[in-house]
């Protein structure tokens, strides 16, 4: 059955929900029941794209065996109710190994992380991404984050039919606006996705994005969808209202050069009764001040049943 | 047999030679004969510390199985003639797995790479490094590169007796000078190593470093040792002469946000008749202009027998 990549690309015109990996506080082993609960929470709230092994899933804190198991189990638990976009990365060979595993267990597409190598050239990055994309049967989404790479890299990869979306995460809006003009989504069968969540989504959408990634969706999915709907319907007032309501949370995640990115989401989930456990190294639990900031925000949002 | 960590630390008061991983141009598989030739070249020229699986060894372009094999073979080939410092990294669990493998096959110490996680906190980084250091019997060297991490991380780790050196790679010299004063090498049994090679070594030594890492040593070891000797003997004139002679090479490696770091060394090695092969993704071969710049420099250095 031939895949219609143009149609497939459109499935990313929504929120890409980065799923969490709860770890037990004592052993730091993966709490698989917690992962499942988190996936069901996302599905119950209407998530259409679930991303295991994203950055906020603490992909790089997992062993390769654990990353594979996370992909396999998430595919099984989602069971066709949403699209599963599996994060893959590391060396080209390792990324291909993870990608082949993902397609074997039924993931719908892979998200290729930014190369972790400290030394990367533009032409080398093209080779890296192209090798991975062409080695897999399922479609790929690029995670484009390193501001030192030229957008020429994307230009060279855009014509690959199996590249269906780019998750752009360089918050240089004029640069992003230019690249969406140089590589028009409809000519290339790909969807531009804002890779830096609710805080940046309004700006990216203004410049051509049709989807955004979210970690907040694990805590307060109603707000994430309110923003998506506002963006899709051009309801500027709603967009800015949600933007303002969620900004403090996103800024708290941005503290310590984004060191707080995951642990703030986990803390919030735990406080409202979901199961997120702790983070693994190199991220420690929040300090008391930041914990209280999370509590105050959850109170303001009305998500805490009991006042702490 | 109890290790004298103070004595052991002093063994890093030299050049840490980052060994290369040659790949065959057609298959990009590892050319093990080439690795061995490179190791023998380094030993023949007096290298006392050999570092397989460093950044310039393209550690992150290797699979885990390949990284292990590189460590095992290098230990075997060095055969006690130098200290082998094996690079390890990735998730804490994976780093421990690599480290245990390294000690099992006889590596003398491990170099723990900067965490690759996109989100890192100070306390989390302490947990990460400490967990790895304490899980291993052989001593550890820290690779400290992320300017967003506080030097407080080092302060908290310095008292671990198995931490024998810090390879500091943040080129903020006042910051480095301060940290070497806050954590005096002789009080803590560790050696401060300049992690950014010949270009920066004079400045780091002025502030307390006693060793430096080198990629140039794979091409022109005489120059690297000339600089080391000059630094050790306080021969300022010699130091600046070598610094000036090697600056262009290091600047060429620094092009494209250091994208050229490895490929320039490989190109130079190949041109003078050593075996370096090609780089793996995400680095492509040098363009013609940079190749010619390498040739001109090698000619100036008198390393090319035939004028190309």
HEC profile for B214-275?
A: ECHHHCCHHHHHHHHHHHHHCCHHHHHHHHHHHHHHHHHHHCCCCCCHHHHHHHHHHHCCCC
User: Which of A237, A228, A225, A233 has the alpha carbon at shortest distance from A193?
Assistant: A228
Whether B122 and A259 lie within 8 Å, measured CB to CB = yes
Which value does ipTM take for this structure?
0.94
Q: Contacts of residue A64 in chain B, CB cutoff 8 Å? A: 64, 94
A123 touches chain B (CB under 8 A): yes
Task: Output the pLDDT for position A305.
Answer: 74
**Do the beta carbons of residue A197 and residue A224 sit within 8 Å?**
no
Percent of chain B exceeding pLDDT 70 equals 98
DSSP conformation class of A215:
S
Task: Output the pLDDT for position B3.
Answer: 79
User: Which of B158, B155, B153, B122 has the alpha carbon at shortest distance from B141?
Assistant: B158
**Do the beta carbons of residue B169 and residue B143 sit within 8 Å?**
yes
- Helical H segments across B137-220, by residue range: 152-157, 173-182, 185-188, 197-206
Task: Output the pLDDT for position A308.
Answer: 47
Q: Report the interhelical angle of B64-78 vs B32-44 (nearest 10°).
A: 40
Domain annotation for chain B: domains and CATH numbers? 5-238 (3.20.20.70)
pLDDT at B307 over 90: no
Query: Which residue ranges in chain A fall short of pLDDT 50?
Result: 308
Whether A259 and B124 lie within 8 Å, measured CB to CB = yes
The CA-atom distances, in angstroms, between B147 and each of B25, B114, B194, B246, B261 are 36, 11, 15, 26, 19
Q: For residue B90, is it left (φ>0), alpha (ψ between -120 and 50) or beta?
A: left
> Mapping DSSP to helix (H, G, I), strand (E, B) and coil, where does residue A141 land?
strand
How many residues comprise chain B?
308
The CA-atom distances, in angstroms, between A19 and each of A69, A307, B138 are 14, 27, 37
Nearest CB neighbour to B118, from listed A55, A94, A280: A55
CA pair distance B282, B277, nearest whole angstrom: 15
**Do the beta carbons of residue B284 and residue A123 sit within 8 Å?**
yes
Instruction: Please give, rounded to a whole number of angstroms, the shortest distance from the CA of A286 to a CA of chain B.
Output: 10
How many residues comprise chain A?
308
In this prediction, residue B233 has a pLDDT band, given cuts at 50, 70 and 90, of very high
CA pair distance A295, A122, nearest whole angstrom: 44
**Do the beta carbons of residue A120 and residue A149 sit within 8 Å?**
yes
Q: Contacts of residue B157 in chain A, CB cutoff 8 Å? A: none
Report A:248-287 residues touching B (Cβ under 8 A).
Answer: 256-263, 279-284
pLDDT at B76 over 50: yes
**Interface with chain A: mutation pick from B281, B286, B291, highest number of A CBs within 10 Å:** B281
Instruction: Taking residues B70-90, report their average pLDDT.
Output: 98
> Which positions ≥6 away from B301 have C-beta within 8 Å?
B220, B223, B245
- CB atoms under 10 Å from CB of A203, counted, come to 16
- CB atoms under 10 Å from CB of B285, counted, come to 16
- CB atoms under 10 Å from CB of B159, counted, come to 12
Task: Output the pLDDT for position B308.
Answer: 47
Nearest CB neighbour to B124, from listed A91, A116, A284: A284
Task: Output the pLDDT for position B1.
Answer: 55
List residues bridging with B163 in a β-sheet: B140
User: Which of B102, B98, B213 has the alpha carbon at shortest distance from B167?
Assistant: B213
Q: Contacts of residue B283 in chain A, CB cutoff 8 Å? A: 117, 119-121, 124
Reading the block at residue B130, the tokens are 């400490």
Task: Output the pLDDT for position B12.
Answer: 98
User: Which of B132, B129, B61, B138 has the alpha carbon at shortest distance from B105?
Assistant: B138
Report B:88-107 residues touching A (Cβ under 8 A).
Answer: 90-94, 97
CA pair distance B308, B296, nearest whole angstrom: 9
- Whether the upstream peptide bond of residue A282 has omega within 30° of 0, thus cis, is yes
Whether A122 and B259 lie within 8 Å, measured CB to CB = yes
Per-residue HEC secondary structure of A52-89 comes to: CCCCCCCHHHCCHHHHHHHHHHHHHHHCCCCEEEEEEC
Nearest CB neighbour to B117, from listed A61, A93, A97: A61
A61 touches chain B (CB under 8 A): yes
DSSP conformation class of B169:
-
Instruction: Taking residues B214-229, report their average pLDDT.
Output: 98
> Mapping DSSP to helix (H, G, I), strand (E, B) and coil, where does residue A110 land?
strand
Which element (helix H / strand E) includes A233?
helix A221-233
Q: A227-230: long-range contacts at Cβ-Cβ below 8 A with a sequence spacing of 24 or more?
A: A227/A198, A227/A201, A227/A202, A228/A14, A228/A15
pLDDT at B2 over 90: no
Reading the block at residue B106, the tokens are 């006889």
Task: Output the pLDDT for position A152.
Answer: 98
CA pair distance B186, B191, nearest whole angstrom: 8
**Do the beta carbons of residue A199 and residue A240 sit within 8 Å?**
no
Whether B91 and A259 lie within 8 Å, measured CB to CB = no
User: Which of B87, B38, B17 has the alpha carbon at shortest distance from B268?
Assistant: B38
Maximum distance among all Cα pairs of chain B, rounded to whole angstroms: 55
User: Which of A23, A21, A31 has the alpha carbon at shortest distance from A56?
Assistant: A21
pLDDT tens per residue across span B152-186: 999 999 999 999 999 999 999 999 999 999 999 98
B29 touches chain A (CB under 8 A): no
User: Which of B181, B183, B144 has the alpha carbon at shortest distance from B160?
Assistant: B183
Whether B127 and A281 lie within 8 Å, measured CB to CB = yes
List residues bridging with A109 in a β-sheet: A85
């Amino acid at each position: 059955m031939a895949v219609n990549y143009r149609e497939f690309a459109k499935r990313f015109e929504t929120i890409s929900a980065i799923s969490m990996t709860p770890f037990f506080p004592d052993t730091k082993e993966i709490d698989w029941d917690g992962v499942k609960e988190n996936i069901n929470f996302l599905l119950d709230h209407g998530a259409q794209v679930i991303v295991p092994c994203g950055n906020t899933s603490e992909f790089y804190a997992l062993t390769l065996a654990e990353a594979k198991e996370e992909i396999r189990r998430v595919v099984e638990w989602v069971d066709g109710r949403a699209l599963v976009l599996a994060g893959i990365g590391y060396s080209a060979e390792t990324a291909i190994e993870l990608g082949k595993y993902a397609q074997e267990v039924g993931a719908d597409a892979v998200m290729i992380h930014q190369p972790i190598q400290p030394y990367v050239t533009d032409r080398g990055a093209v080779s890296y991404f192209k090798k991975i994309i062409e080695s897999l049967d399922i479609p790929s989404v690029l995670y484009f984050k390193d501001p030192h790479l030229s957008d020429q890299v994307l230009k060279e990869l855009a014509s690959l039919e199996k590249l269906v979306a780019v998750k752009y995460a360089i918050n240089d809006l004029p640069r992003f606006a230019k690249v969406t003009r140089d590589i028009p989504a409809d000519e290339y069968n790909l969807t531009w996705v804002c890779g830096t969540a609710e805080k940046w989504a309004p700006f990216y959408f203004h410049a051509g994005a049709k989807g955004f990634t979210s970690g907040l969706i694990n805590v307060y999915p109603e707000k994430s969808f309110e923003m998506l709907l506002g963006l899709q319907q051009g309801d500027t007032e709603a967009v800015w209202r949600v933007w303002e309501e969620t900004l403090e949370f996103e800024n708290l995640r941005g503290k310590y050069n984004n060191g707080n990115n995951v642990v703030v989401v986990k803390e919030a989930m735990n406080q409202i009764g979901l199961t997120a456990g702790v983070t693994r190294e190199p991220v420690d639990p929040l300090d008391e001040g930041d914990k209280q900031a999370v509590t105050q925000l959850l109170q303001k949002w009305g998500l805490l049943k009991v006042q702490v």
